[in-house]
Amino acid sequence: MNDLRKAAVDRKVVAVRVDLNVPTDDRGRITDDTRIVAALPTINHLRRSGAKVLLISHFGRPKGRPDPSMSLEPVARALEGYLDDPVAFAGDCIGPAVEETVANIDYGEVALLENVRFHPGETGNAPDFARALAEPAEKFVNDAFGAAHRSHASVVGLARLLPSYAGFLLASEIAALERVLNNPERPLAALVGGAKISSKIGVLRNLVERVDMLLLGGGMANTFLAANGLDMQASLVESSHLNDASEIQRRARESGCEIVLPTDGVMASGLAAGAETVVVAVDQVPEGWTMLDIGPATERLFHDRLRLARTIVWNGPMGMFEDRRFARGTERIARGVAASGAYSMIGGGDSVAAVKLLGIESEFDHISTGGGASLEMLEGKTLPGIAALG
């Protein structure tokens, strides 16, 4: 992969794929600016190096046609505050609107192009659309880690048409994942939770071959417990994946990976606000009740293991943390990871949200900006956006 620091970009037009797909509230205000902040180092480097910076991003899922509710223009206005400079906005990402914008900005200045997913050629990776995107630019920088698992025109198509570089964010995300997957300081512990085993089977299969300890929480632990013969009552159990849970445990035994499952949990009589809750062992789930968080004995068990680890990778909350009654396990484990002294990285949209809610994100060594992309890397897949950079 080409090093952006060595790229000659002075008086060049540089197309930069960023991930400015920021969450907004119902009035269009940005509720979390992490992705904007994460894109700044590359943007600022290119400005200082004398490039015309053309930012390309998607925003929402507009189905291949213009949708004013998913315009990036408000993001352009917000970005001005972070760059402390005007940001030009082009009403389209290809064609005359872009030509005009490029002509109107100076070297060292920034323009944001309209939502690239307003064209069907983006997600379809259509060659003529990729050529139209590449048309005004002389170089390409991919800094959109959150989109690196997509074979889209602005991710892979552009990289094949222009001299291409990995942006600083993309490079740091890759470095963090490689540090965990390829050359970890051991013991290496993976902490995996979240709702469903089905969304993370590939991750679990890959991780059991690589990690020393696999700690499982969240809804997916229920399926493992059920596979081991426990009656999880009304808890979320994916009965079509009981075999997968057994197979993953068998593979773990073969490869010397210790799987650690919850021993107790917070059980609820129902999901409604007034439902009763009780903490009991996992083999004592009351009839008709649901396990929605790990319990205190499991917290201690997990903490003891995490204290041994030199590297920890975490994906997926330990319980239904959106409800305060079931957030404690996730909170305690987050604090335990942060305090462990191990190199720690977190991926996964909901786990990252949980850590931000606690305000302790600075205590982790790496927080991934791309949930889907980091999951695919944890599955051991090569991401098309990274492969295209060569």
Query: Annotated catalytic sites, by residue?
Result: 35, 196, 349, 372
Q: Considering the complex, state which of residue 371 and residue 385 has its C-beta at the smaller distance from Mg ion.
A: 371
Tokens of 195: 């709702």
Backbone phi, psi, residue 331, to 5°:
-65, -50
Q: Which is nearer to ligand ADP, 167 or 329 (CB)?
A: 329
CA neighbours within 13 Å on the CB side: how many for 301?
A: 20
CB of 69 to ligand ADP, least distance (A): 24
- Quick one: 371 or 384, whose CB is closer to Mg ion? 371
The values of phi and psi at residue 17, to 5°, are: -85, 115
Rounded distance, CA 126 to CA 114, Å? 18
Can you give the binding site for Mg ion, defined by CB under 5 A? 349-350
Tokens describing residue 97: 């609107």
Q: How far is the CB of 325 from ligand ADP (least distance, A)?
A: 12
By a kind-dependent CB cut-off of 5 to 8 A, residue 218 interacts, out of ligand ADP, Mg ion, none, with ligand ADP
Q: List interacting residues with ligand ADP (CB under 6 A).
A: 193-195, 199, 218-219, 236, 291-292, 315-317, 319-320, 322, 348-351, 371
Q: What's the CA gap between 180 and 168, in Å, rounded?
A: 19
Q: Work out how close the CB of 372 gets to ligand ADP at its nearest, in angstroms, rounded to a whole number.
A: 9
CA angle 72/75/80 to nearest 5° reads 135
Question: In a 10 Å sphere around its CB, with 0-12 CB exposed, 13-18 middle and 19+ buried, how is residue 114 labelled?
Answer: buried
291 binds, among Mg ion, ligand ADP, none (CB under 5 to 8 A by kind): ligand ADP
CB of 38 vs ligand ADP, minimal distance in Å:
17
Please give the sequence-ordered ranges of beta strands (E in DSSP) within the chain, or none if there are none: 13-17, 52-56, 87-90, 110-113, 139-142, 164-166, 188-192, 213-216, 258-260, 264-268, 277-281, 290-294, 311-315, 343-347, 366-367
Residue (108 or 202) nearer to Mg ion, CB: 202
Residue 316 binding: pick among Mg ion, ligand ADP, none (C-beta 5-8 Å cut-off by kind)? ligand ADP
Residue 131: CB minimum distance to ligand ADP, A: 36
Q: Residue 57 binds what, of Mg ion, ligand ADP, none (CB under 5 to 8 Å, by partner type)?
A: none
Side chain identity at 157, as an amino acid letter? Answer: G
Question: Using CB atoms, what's the residue nearest to Mg ion?
Answer: 350
Helix or strand (DSSP H, E) at 190 = strand 188-192
- The residue among 218 and 336 lying less far from ligand ADP, judged by its C-beta, is 218
Residue 140 pairs with which residues in a beta bridge? 15, 164
Interaction partner, residue 128 (Mg ion, ligand ADP, none; CB < 5-8 Å by kind): none
